[in-house]
Amino acid sequence: MDPDEIEDIADDVGYLVSIEPIKMSDTLLEINLKWDPTCWMSIDSNKDHATARIMEMAEKMPDNSDGIFLIRPSASQDGFFVLSISMGGRVHNCLIEYRAQPPPGEYEAGFAFLDTANYFPTLVDFVKFYSKYTLKEHNETLDTVLKYPAFPGLNATDYV
């Protein structure tokens, strides 16, 4: 990544933080950061690989396998990400959109599930929030929080 790209990303994040609602900022400040992004971020967009990794972990903890997760780029929608998460013995995939700027007439930008009101300036903030608050608001069948990253203690690139 060249320095200009890094500067553009820093500018985007700075802008997104500046428009983040105060209540959300306060909420995020109260939540401890549990994991380094390398524990949950994958550069592999393949859904089958994500499912296999999560199910491999779920088999090792059969009594408590809900909430194993990773975030990966979307293979079908450029610029989007996907939260892959275990719940009820299966892996669910939830699309995460990214808005660098709010659409006309709206005030929210950043990372969020489609059709939701909670936007975050970074995926780290997204993960922090959903490690404390259930995904049920996004999807009724996902009554869990993000509990276990799919790459604990390892770099996500080890699985590509």
Contacts of 29 (CB under 8 A, 6+ apart): none
Number of domains in the chain: 1
What digits encode the pLDDT tens for the residues 112-133? Answer: 998 787 888 889 889 999 999 8
Give the CATH number of the domain where residue 125 resides.
3.30.505.10
Backbone angles phi, psi at 19, to 5 degrees: -100, 0
Task: Please indicate whether residue 22 or residue 131 has the higher confidence score (pLDDT).
Answer: 131
| 64-88 confidence digits (pLDDT tens) | 889 999 999 999 998 899 999 999 9
Q: Which of 29-38, 107-116, 126-135 has the highest mean predicted lDDT (pLDDT)?
A: 126-135
Candidates 112, 144, 120, 142; CA nearest to 131 is 144
Half-sphere exposure of 101 (CA within 13 A, CB side): 3
- The fraction of the chain above a pLDDT of 90, given in percent, is 44
* Domain carrying residue 75: 3-159
Q: Which amino acid is residue 32, in one-letter code?
A: N
Q: Over the range 8-45, which residues count as b (16 or more CB within 10 Å of their CB) and which as e?
A: eeeebeeebeeebeeebeebbeeeeeebeeebbbbebb
